[in-house]
Structure 1
């Protein structure tokens, strides 16, 4: 067997596979003899700009492609291989071809980018005369164009597809032929050919109505083009980083000299940037127990963030798996249902937010005056907005430099590119209403801020007029349950995620998932919890053993029913498919109650742990080791989706969909997000909070006093 046969003739193998599958015409390869250079021009154009193109393809590109064709002649191949020059084989071998597992959903043949970009051709002989480097290109073509072309309409267009479930509507999904979207694959061509050269040639032979809309190319020595905004980001972050290091040096010098009085002078405005002090604050562990602190919240916060990241790890990568047809079956077991129903992990954060705000307000209700009322809002904005702005700045500028894989540029354009024009929606907390995002997760902070604005209306009555306020808050709680149930009935939205028809997916996403009016219940339950814990500090809760047991059993049953109770309607059933839809009344009741029920289960956990009835649960959730990670959850919340997207955008191969892989990837995302969160805290979050403490104070009886209301009502994600 000669070497050419050992390599299985990748050039002709490629022409006989992927182009025939993707081309809707009846054209086919004419001569399968490897010694012939006679190829069907239509099929060739799926991989290379044609020398025969009637369009404006550059002469150098035409020449180099012709040399590639010349090199496929058996005599030329024998000549080159005898001299250890295998580039004609490597070039075709790197092309995307019909992959294994097509019937399992392996529908994005990326080829081998690194094999292509490492090619360096320099030939001058009787067969080939060419000098070029390998250039890998990711190609997408279809009839409707990519989602980026209609900003804000991409998901709507996908929602018009037939069928049920979340397939095809998850952000970050690159469509393919069998999901009603574009065909996508990888090819390798000379670097003398531009993306436009390839588009012109390919568009001349594509079936009617199709168009090549994305050709993104990479070479080994390519350089990124820096824009003014990129320099601005690096200058701003560089200056802040310099202040962090300088302040740390001053901080350590003061400690060394023992002149602590210097901290009260002008140096205090610099010391808020100290990386030394702020790092100590992040990783400080307080082992002293306090009757007014709620220790179990640290563990709850970290575990909830882990659950959020786990769910997003799946949601933002499911379009890049080699067994995509297995996605519906991925949810059939306990782990799959835990991921599919991860939206209640977000309700945990709404609950925690309401608890901290309510508890803080109750502790400082006697100090509430006009100044503290104003600071109640100002502090919240200052606390949340600057880190969001910093991440939007990153997404709109240098983030694209980290997307280095075959689908890097496409992934960036479908996600972070929106930061250039949508950042204000995130920073000013309206992204859930406008449906325009830079950071997709900021729908949560928008909802949280909008509820926060309404807190005085909901909670102040119970702070000062207990009987009337109790009735008022109960009424608001009831209304918060009724609203999503009514929306579910009016728009006929089934419960769960999979059983939702795709023509209802947008209604579910905007009205029920991201609508402030539908996410208030766990926040209000948190307010109730904060109120009850404050009262229990003055009058401790006493319970009998049977009451404690009943409480824990009931809370566990309620939580499990919320999480797994809709399993019959929330997975692909081999007998019913996606058509096992619950009665609308069942959907309405579940939609109206499940978020509040989840909040009640968490309420029991917090009250029981804080009152001394938590046992091993409180020992676990309240362990001091959770504290550093708990302080980083807001930073991790803001950074983790970028981490997920940039990792996907830098990978060279599709991944396999299985639980073990996703658990390992989630651990990696948590680790990298944790590092990014530390940097975000040191550069933005802690300095801003420190400056606020210095600047937003007022003089009381000749001394300075910080607003206690805004201190106690702060909430960390």
Structure 2
């Protein structure tokens, strides 16, 4: 944006005379610009290397002085940079006249809606700068040691103004490569504190991150997604005034900020004050050029004001009190276990004792770490669940780096990342979510049919459906709700820094109820709360409709399988229809042309989070669960049959993961391949995983079963649900807490960050399980587990037989109460 660089003036409180007859005459030759933008070719050593010239040509067009300016005008850019650096020179040289011009320029701020304390501190800084320049001018006449010593004392009183200037965001390296992070120094700004009057009041610095968004006319993605020369596109309409722009061009490109500048402001200014001051500057710049570039801007300031402390936030203090209460229960429950229950031989009497034991760390840890195996477990699901979660963390590790906009080589990475073959494991990480849908459908079907066969669940008994629906909701929601509360309260005060902001911008105030109803994949899509929990909405919705298919499989058997296949075909058909009609890519993949980014919002709401699209792996899971019940875990196959089946299975798995490599690398795909992958790509992965599980449980994959069913996976499997809920929040907390920009380099960096993310996520999941998940699980068993049988009139009965049905994974995965 040409006008955005007028904001640099604010960094030093300088002004430039925005007269309409003033022209900027600095430019670089085209050959010089090409030399600057010419990146060396490389293989796959890092994400800064490029083998094509498209990016260089696009960036070159951004900076050229011509009618084809797409984002930036180098003339204005250079002039504002010169004005920015002039402030310290003016003060140091005693250029009083120039500083008078600054004061005059900022006079109109008094007419804007800026608070009086903020204005007072802004002008205090300006007048201090002016006085410093006067002192420098007077010091030049000093010709003896006495006055020199006096002036040194005066200069020491004024030195803080240079700290303010030094903390401001400055032009970084690699702006030609898309570096839009002009951070400055958060720590330098926050340390500034100087007495400003005889009352002893202080001028304290606060760091403000300002983010600027351009009109869609200057959307940078056009340079990569358009098939024509972006320079030609811009030349054709460069002379249009704002009123002549098309409606699409007047829309705001708010997918990512085109510029981020750190400002050091007085802490008497609110976010609103800073926004009004900055708007004053960039609107003046746009007015001088008779053009419009910035459509929106946001400001996030961090300071040490008392009203921003946690102890002045009532909801946060209430939540802190709640957490202290829970930890107290854990302490007393553990002591009760060690000093009362254990000496009594493990006997627990009384309701209060049972409730207190729910929070025993000793008991809950033993349950989490239990590795005992019974004959009713599908052992391979332990490893499948954990490895699928690792794959999701693998993808999210880099997804949240990009979406947090804390990377200084984001565009290069987005374009270069898909070109490396092994990065398909990251690009295709969304397939791991299908693993959990499949496991959910498999366990729900397997357990329900098993209960129907042994008589512990009856289709005509209302209590069966109470157990199926209500218990499912009650077992999942407390963990979900507590994390939501922590994110919108205590997590806000965990850290600070130039990128820091609340994880949920709206603090879930507008859409929390949609999440708790598990409808957040249909409603409030523009105002999401904990966006990654779309999976829980889908899973709960599919769980609600699962009995239709499960009963059909149980009653109709082979005809039920036909019904399941028809439902699969319908889901794939709807997916293909919407994809072709709307022009969406065959999968939510990042390609070198960044196609998915341009349609991400629409693709997300119309396809990615809808249950009628995501139900295919769930249906496959239902079929596998039915097959395991039908075969009674015995399905002999000849060596030749096994060989052919495994070749087909691995071909399907390889196709689903790597079948779109050419598309991600080039952004080009044939119509036939597009249609085929849309129909069968994701389904192939579900069939591949479904076969592995079926083969493990029917004796056709003993070695794989020994690996996936190893005891080391059992505790990790139980913690997977908490790891799923926690890891996006933990990743964002880390990225937003950084004091410096992140820079993508090579594959080792990718592996290192992924390893740390898995370790931290499961470590936090273990603590969260002890705090809330295991107590909730034990409370559920305390309320709903059938009472011991007793004899009545000579007949042994069980009063709670019909409510014995457990949530999806209880009888199969000991201690695990959900399918994630």
TM-score range, shorter chain: 0.7 to 0.9
Query: What residue in structure 2 maps to residue 652 of structure 1?
Result: 739
Query: What residue in structure 2 maps to residue 673 of structure 1?
Result: 761
Query: What residue in structure 2 maps to residue 372 of structure 1?
Result: 464
CA distance in structure 2 between the partners assigned to 1:491 and 1:599 by the alignment: 25
Query: What residue in structure 2 maps to residue 637 of structure 1?
Result: 724
Query: What residue in structure 2 maps to residue 566 of structure 1?
Result: 660
Range that drifts further, 615-624 or 66-75:
66-75
2:428 to 334, 341, 366: 341
Q: Quote the offset at 1:468 in angstroms.
A: 2.7
- 1:201-600 aligned at under 5 Å gives the runs 201-207=277-283, 208=286, 210=294, 213-219=297-303, 223-225=308-310, 226-263=312-349, 266-286=352-372, 288=373, 290-318=374-402, 319-326=405-412, 327-366=414-453, 367-369=456-458, 370=461, 371-409=463-501, 412=503, 415-434=504-523, 435=525, 436-496=527-587, 497-498=589-590, 500=595, 504-537=599-632, 540-571=634-665, 573=666, 578=667, 580-583=668-671, 585-600=672-687
Query: 8 Å contact 2:786–2:804 — kept in the other structure?
Result: no
Query: What residue in structure 2 maps to residue 189 of structure 1?
Result: 265
Q: Quote the offset at 1:382 in angstroms.
A: 1.4
Higher relative contact order, structure no. (Cα contacts within 8 Å, ≥ 6 residues apart) = 1
How many residues of Structure 1 are paired with residues of Structure 2 in the alignment?
A: 671
Query: What residue in structure 1 maps to residue 127 of structure 2?
Result: 66
Q: Quote the offset at 1:476 in angstroms.
A: 2.2
In the alignment, structure 1 residue 691 sits paired with structure 2 residue 742: no
Q: Quote the offset at 1:110 in angstroms.
A: 1.0
Q: Quote the offset at 1:463 in angstroms.
A: 1.3
The root-mean-square deviation of aligned C-alpha atoms, in Å, is 3.9
CA distance in structure 2 between the partners assigned to 1:71 and 1:662 by the alignment: 50
1:119 to 172, 192, 197: 192
Query: What residue in structure 2 maps to residue 98 of structure 1?
Result: 171
User: Scaled by the length of structure 2, what TM-score is found?
Assistant: 0.74
Q: Secondary structure at the match of 1:590?
A: helix
CA distance in structure 1 between the partners assigned to 2:712 and 2:225 by the alignment: 40
CA distance in structure 1 between the partners assigned to 2:808 and 2:411 by the alignment: 49
Larger Rg: 2
CA distance in structure 2 between the partners assigned to 1:530 and 1:690 by the alignment: 27
Distance change in 2, residues 1:20/1:424 (3 Å): same
Q: Secondary structure at the match of 1:710?
A: coil
Query: 8 Å contact 1:161–1:180 — kept in the other structure?
Result: no
Query: 8 Å contact 2:408–2:743 — kept in the other structure?
Result: yes
Q: Quote the offset at 1:164 in angstroms.
A: 6.5
Query: 8 Å contact 2:209–2:260 — kept in the other structure?
Result: yes
Could you tell me which runs of 5 or more consecutive residues in structure 1 were left unpaired when the two chains were aligned: 1-10, 145-155, 167-175
Q: Secondary structure at the match of 2:264?
A: strand
1:139 to 191, 198, 210: 210
Distance change in 2, residues 1:480/1:211 (3 Å): closer
Query: 8 Å contact 2:211–2:259 — kept in the other structure?
Result: yes
Once the two structures are superposed, residues 599-643 of structure 1 have per-residue CA deviations (whole angstroms, 9 ceiling, x without a partner) of 111012112222333244333222111111111110011111111
